[in-house]
Amino acid sequence: MQQDSQEYKDKKAFFEKIITLYGRNVAIEVLQDSSITIHKLHLADSNKPDGAVKKIIMLAKERSIEIIKHDKSSLSRISKNAKQDQGVAIDILSKTYLHVNNIKKLEKYRLIALDGIQNPQNLGMIIRSCAAGNIDGIILPKKNSAKISPLVVKASAGTLFKLPIYFCNRLEDILGELQETNIYALSSHATRSLHELNEGKKSIFVLGNESEGVSKEVKQCCNNTLKIPMNRNVESLNVAVTAALIAFRV
């Protein structure tokens, strides 16, 4: 029974790392990048085997990747985007897509947590800035957030798999469990400035969406608030710009 339980846990951990993308151009780009581990390729059986589909099949065979054919409705359940999948979905095994419990094993970290960021382009730009800057990872909840999609991949400009992305169901669940961590909610109403901050060994900066900011539930899990000082009565910055300022703060 214990062995079966461990086998189940291992299987669950494996599939938690699977990210499914869709679209013909995205599939070609992914298949051409040998640094990306691919689990399976899914194709609609209604696809004509020419043009981009022919190239996708050729690239998959060159890398000995399993190809599975589906009817259109089954494929749309896999891609979760029937209008834009173009009859193609691809499962990527991301070694940097990790459960948030892995954060508890770290002795020090500097993370950005995203609360209600639903714009895929913003998410991609945030990933890119964090990968380039002084950030150790991003916490991305599955609920009320943008999903990893072709738009995110494009906006991240090839940096999606260069930075740990820690997933959870709800942000407030994990923030309440991280002991001895300075958790800062970015807010225009804060009295303390980002430039005045002396960080400890463990820091998390929580960014909310542009319209509502950090939610009430998540803010209750934070032990500090911070603002980015503004000139000329400018109220706020795009969330991706805010993430970049934090990422490159030394």
> What ranges do the domains of the chain cover?
2-93, 97-247
pLDDT at 49 over 80: yes
* CATH 3.40.50.720 holds for 97-247: no
How confident is the model over 176-192, as pLDDT tens digits?
899 889 999 998 888 88
Judged by average pLDDT, the poorest of 14-18, 39-43, 131-135 is 14-18
What's the confidence (pLDDT) of residue 203? 95
Mean pLDDT, rounded, for 19-32: 93
Nearest to 177 by CA among 169, 186, 189, 188: 169
Q: Given this model, what pLDDT does residue 182 score?
A: 94
pLDDT at 3: 53
Q: What is the pTM of this model?
A: 0.87
| Least confident stretch, 69-73, 79-83, 96-100, 196-200 | 196-200
User: What is the model's pLDDT at position 1?
Assistant: 46
pLDDT digits (tens, 9 = 90+) for 187-223: 888 888 888 888 889 999 999 987 888 999 999 999 9
Q: Say which CATH topology domain 2-93 has.
A: 60s Ribosomal Protein L30; Chain: A; (3.30.1330)
Express each pLDDT in 224-236 by its tens digit: 999 988 888 887 7
